Amino acid sequence: MSLAGLVVVGNYNDNPTIILDINETHISGFDSSGVENKQVITITYEGKLPTFTIDIVIPYTVTFIDWNGDTLKTEIVEEGSSATEPINPSRIGYIINLNQIE
């Protein structure tokens, strides 16, 4: 499980907010064996047990490649989203149709 980008903030009576140092040992309930949306995880910290419902979003890398094998554009999109096609390339004597997908 990657915790990249995870920020957990604790709200305390004597100090408004503190960013908590959370690692994998604090988290339970996450099932990495399959992609299941709406997983409920628990973060255990100083005896507190808040739970969160998380959505698993799979990123896909979409690469547009021209006739010569050169990369026109690479974009990361989430499942269910669409990539934005690059500006139409040009080549003398050819009509480029980016709507043909293999």
* pLDDT on residue 76: 93
CA dihedral 2, 7, 8, 13 (to 10 degrees): 160
Our count of domains for the chain comes to 2
Distance CA 12, CA 18 (A): 8
| CA neighbor of 40 nearest in space, from 56, 27, 51 | 51
This model's pTM is above 0.95:
no
- Quick one: pLDDT at residue 96? 67
47 and 67, same domain (yes or no): no
Q: Which two tokens stand for residue 73?
A: 């554009």
Q: What is the pLDDT of residues 26-83, one digit of tens each?
A: 888 887 766 667 788 888 888 888 888 877 777 899 999 887 888 989 999 988 888 9
CB 67 within 8 A of CB 76: no
The CATH number of the domain holding residue 47 is 2.60.40.3630
Q: Does some domain include residue 3?
A: no
Please tell me the predicted confidence (pLDDT) of residue 29: 85
Residue 22 Cα distances to 4, 28, 46, 99, 100, angstroms = 11, 12, 11, 45, 46
